[in-house]
Structure 1
């Protein structure tokens, strides 16, 4: 009788341990899928920002590309609603609604306002990535990584804010005051990019990134004579590529330490 009772208790303990392990695995997979999907949305939104910017700047029609990107983003937002836990679903319903608003109104905006609205949605989406990542680190009791992550995250956000301001300043480059404002924003952007060396020295030391910073410094000192909207926007696209390469590397390292490496993106930085 005692042996039978001991066996039943052992089996019960094993079943509980198996259940808890399976539950933890499901929760990790859910967080992993949420972060992966949000990351894909960020990538698609950057493509949308580029296409809509060119459409507004040159009065060109990019309807097919833009519509396809919008459809993908909305589908991924809907997938997030279905994937998220009950208390998180309202966050992703709000995200879906805000993307729907952006897609229905971008054609009515100025170039600067379009850049601002896309930058705002990028930050909103990135904050959802941040929220999920920090919660995952805390649940996994990886306190040693939380401070490091917060430090790196702050550097990324400051760089993105500086980039948005630089892009907004492009609109008034044809005016003397606009050129001065762009130069001021370029100075700020150089300082922010130099901070990225703490996060990803390899990417910032790469020849392409060094050339970007050199060009920015010339713009900041008003030494660059060929300062026009096309050149300026191409430069900001290169800056965006540098920032998001650093961000993606940082995020991938964090998630791999918790679960698995993130899926490779079909990179198209804009």
Structure 2
């Protein structure tokens, strides 16, 4: 398959996953809106439903997603005490059969994890390229306080993570920063055999604001492969999304 054909298929899968996720949305819900290309497609589709009369409110995991939600007419909520989300729909950089995730490739991992933990139901949307047998090939992101960066790099290197400080793709010579003004570090572990232990080790490093392992948070994932969307749930065989008329 040519590169252009592969990219076209991937885009089709992303759109299928995003539109399938709308089956989980109900009138009156409070939603968390994820970040990334597949989540952006979901936000656009959700905006169409809102313009057609769907009543929901939402909070976004990134400034880019917030701007898009506002553009398509989704009513937005500011963070406040007691606010919880009926459903958050977000993407992933990698996911395995137990719904362990690597997230943060777009730099929004802190806000993504905040909303995920404030949600009653986290639904992941992904194309087939994000599904892996074992986490680790995709670099694991960290959000790091700038002052602590040298010591964080030393600590991650000692864990075998081959850390690389992320450069800003839009501003030559500058480092990438999160919406909170923190630096982003990509850790190249290649294979993560004990994600729970690694998450604990990374989170214990002073200066690491958040790490991109999302464990025990996702309730389900919609994974599109070719022309079929599948619902993944931990410990269960994937099921065709067409068999779910309501939130499982």
Q: Given the two structures, how large is their TM-score scaled by the length of structure 1? A: 0.26
Structure whose residues are more often helix by fraction: 1
Higher RCO structure, 1 or 2 (CA under 8 Å, sep 6+) = 2
Structure whose residues are more often strand by fraction: 2
Instruction: Give the structure with higher Rg (CA).
Output: 1
Q: Given the two structures, how large is their TM-score scaled by the length of structure 2? A: 0.28
